[in-house]
Structure 1
Amino acid sequence: MSHFLFHVFSLLFLAGQVVAQKQTEEKELGAVFEKHGLEGCFVVLNPVTSILHVYNPARAARGFLPASTFKIPMALMGLDTGTVKDVDEVIPYGGTKEWLKDWERDMNLKEAMKLSNVAIFHQVARRVGMDRMQECLRLFDYGNQQTGDDVGRRYWLEGPMAISALQQVDFLRRLTGGEIPLKKRTLESVKEITLYESQGGATIYAKTGWSGSTGQQVGWWVGWVEKDGRNFPFALNATVPTMAVAKKRIPVALECLAALWIWNVE
Structure 2
Amino acid sequence: MPLLPPPFTTHTPRARRTFLAQGGCGLLAALGAARFADAATPAAHVEERPDLAAHFKEAGVRGTWVVLDSATSKLTVVDRRRAEKRFSPASTFKIPNSLIALETGAVKDIDEILPYGGGTYKRKDWERDMNLRDAIRVSHLPIYRGVARRIGLARMNAWIAKLHYGNETLGTEVDQFWVNDKLRISAAEQVRFLMRLAQRSLPMSMRTQDMVHEITRLEKTPTHALHGKTGWYETPGFSLGWWVGWVAQANGSVQSFALNIDMHGEADLAKRIPLARKLLSQMNLLPS
Aligned to 1:206: 228
Contact kept, 8 Å, 2:170 with 2:177, in 1: the verdict is yes
Query: Structure 1 residues 67, 23: closer, same or farther in 2, change over 3 A?
Result: same
Count how many residue pairs are aligned between Structure 1 and Structure 2: 260
CA separation in 1, counterparts of 2:218 and 2:177? Answer: 26
Aligned to 2:34: 16
TM-score calculated relative to the size of structure 2: 0.85
How far 1:96 moved relative to its partner? 5.2
Q: Which amino acid aligns with 1:32?
A: H
Structure 1 segments unaligned to the other structure (5+ residues): none
Over the matched positions of the two proteins, sequence identity in percent amounts to 41
Aligned to 1:147: 170
Aligned to 2:19: none
Greater C-alpha radius of gyration: 2
Does 2:135 align with 1:112?
yes
Does 2:84 align with 1:68?
no
Q: Which amino acid aligns with 2:194?
A: L
Contact kept, 8 Å, 2:43 with 2:68, in 1: the verdict is no
* Root-mean-square deviation over aligned CA pairs: 2.0
Does 2:237 align with 1:221?
no
Contact kept, 8 Å, 1:168 with 1:222, in 2: the verdict is yes
Does 2:124 align with 1:101?
yes
Aligned to 2:145: 122
Does 2:281 align with 1:264?
no
Q: Which amino acid aligns with 2:85?
A: R
CA separation in 2, counterparts of 1:104 and 1:213? Answer: 24
CA separation in 1, counterparts of 2:104 and 2:183? Answer: 21
SS at the partner of 1:222?
Answer: strand
Richer in strand (by share): 1
Aligned to 1:164: 186
TM-score calculated relative to the size of structure 1: 0.91
Aligned to 1:7: 8
Structure 2 segments unaligned to the other structure (5+ residues): 1-5, 10-24, 37-41
Does 2:180 align with 1:179?
no
How far 1:123 moved relative to its partner? 0.6
Equivalent residues in 2 for 1:24-63 (5 A)? 24-63=47-86
SS at the partner of 1:178?
Answer: coil
CA separation in 2, counterparts of 1:115 and 1:167? Answer: 24
Q: Which amino acid aligns with 1:211?
A: Y
